Amino acid sequence: MTFSLTAIIRAFVAPDYRLRCPPNLWRDIVAGLERRGAGRHEAGVFLLGVDIAGKKEVRDVVFYDDLDPHAYDTGVCVLHGDAFARLWSICREKGLTVVADAHTHPGLAFQSQSDRTNPMVARKGHIAIIIPNFARWPIERTELGVYEYAGAHTWHDRSGRKASRFFYRGLWA
> How far is the C-alpha of 21 from the C-alpha of 38, rounded, in Å?
24
Name the domain count of the chain.
1
> How far is the C-alpha of 129 from the C-alpha of 157, rounded, in Å?
10
pLDDT of residue 11: 61
In a domain, 9, yes or no: no
> How far is the C-alpha of 40 from the C-alpha of 102, rounded, in Å?
17
In a domain, 6, yes or no: no
Q: What CATH number did the domain enclosing 85 receive? A: 3.40.140.10
Assess whether the previous peptide bond of 119 is cis (omega < 30° from 0): no
> How far is the C-alpha of 122 from the C-alpha of 126, rounded, in Å?
7
Q: Strand locations in 67-122, DSSP E? A: 97-104
C-alpha triplet 53, 55, 61: angle, nearest 5°: 125
pLDDT of residue 164: 78
In a domain, 3, yes or no: no
Sign of CA dihedral 92, 94, 95, 99: negative
139-144: long-range contacts, CB 8 A cutoff, minimum separation 24: 139/30, 143/108, 143/109, 144/109
Instruction: Give, in order, the Cα–Cα distances in Å from 150 to each of 116, 139, 153.
Output: 11, 27, 7
pLDDT of residue 1: 44
> How far is the C-alpha of 120 from the C-alpha of 141, rounded, in Å?
23
In a domain, 74, yes or no: yes
pLDDT of residue 162: 85
Residues (pLDDT < 70) of the chain are 1-16, 170-173
pLDDT of residue 84: 96
In a domain, 73, yes or no: yes
34-51: pLDDT as tens digits: 999 999 999 999 999 999
Domain containing 120 equals 15-168
In a domain, 8, yes or no: no
In a domain, 4, yes or no: no
In a domain, 10, yes or no: no
pLDDT of residue 13: 59
